[in-house]
Amino acid sequence: MTSPAAQQFWNELRLTTQSRIGLGRAGNALPTTRVLEFAAAHAAARDAVHIPLDVEATVAAVTAVGIGTPAVVASQADGRSEYLRRPDKGRLPADLDAVPRGNSDIGVVLADGLSPRALTEHGPGLLTALVDVLGERYSLAPPVIATQARVALGDHIGARMGVRTLLVLIGERPGLSVASSLGIYLTHLPMPGRTDADRNCISNVHPPEGLGYAAAARVVAGLVDGARRLGRSGVDLKDTSRADELGPGPRAIS
């Protein structure tokens, strides 16, 4: 049996992490409470993957942000089952006729990805934060909602939109600690054929435990500015959003 002092130690340490630590034991097994918590987390992760996006509600929430009524597109994956079995189909558009052409600075795609729940819970809030940070300096295209979508689907959408920089807000793969986390993928000059080396990613957007909307938007703004100066995104582009907070680095001794 765990001593009261040991139990207090683990209780305090668990407040600092979402990892499953200090679970204790009942005989040769985990306590029943911990087993039930694990089963509930596993069920939540499975539901996050399989329950489809409520497109109508998402369109309403995104429209309320105020940068236009979103177009809705789908990948070539026919339903959730094929989406999970055929990632290649999730990267290709079924039809982009609904996406208006233009020449805005920035386009935003809100994609269900592997957690439609994450897009439902965090997509509109994150989009609002992005508009607040980017809207005064850059022109923003009307957003696009993409279903059964992988990240690379955004390359086709961004090329159709004619934007210089594309942001894909996509539901990340659920884990046993977090089932509703969003990732942001930034691609400068999007076009079919781009690879992951051409993108920058900000992950774990799921306040209050994960990265907050405003903090994520500040990182995105720094990357957008850097991509425009550099002329590209990806491995050569680094996040400098915290440079002012951290101060100057050590000086070389000559």
The answer to the question of whether 201 is labelled as a binding residue is yes
Whether 48 maps to a domain, the answer reads no
SS3 letters across 143-172? CEEEECCCCCHHHHHHHHHCCCEEEEEEEC
Which pLDDT score is estimated for 118?
96
Which pLDDT score is estimated for 242?
62
CATH of the domain at 71: 3.40.50.11240
Distance CA 213, CA 118 (A): 13
Whether 129 maps to a domain, the answer reads yes
The answer to the question of whether 56 is labelled as a binding residue is no
Whether 250 maps to a domain, the answer reads no
CA angle 100, 121, 182 (to 5 degrees): 75
The answer to the question of whether 121 is labelled as a binding residue is no
Token pair belonging to 20: 């499953």
Which pLDDT score is estimated for 243?
57
Q: Is pTM beyond 0.75 here?
A: yes
Token pair belonging to 34: 């911990």
Whether 128 maps to a domain, the answer reads yes
Q: Are the C-beta atoms of 161 and 141 separated by less than 8 Å?
A: yes
The residues of the chain scoring below 70 in pLDDT are 1-2, 241-254
Which pLDDT score is estimated for 24?
77
Whether 79 maps to a domain, the answer reads yes
Whether 95 maps to a domain, the answer reads yes
Q: Which domain holds residue 109?
A: 55-239
Total domains, the chain: 1
Whether 132 maps to a domain, the answer reads yes
Whether 23 maps to a domain, the answer reads no
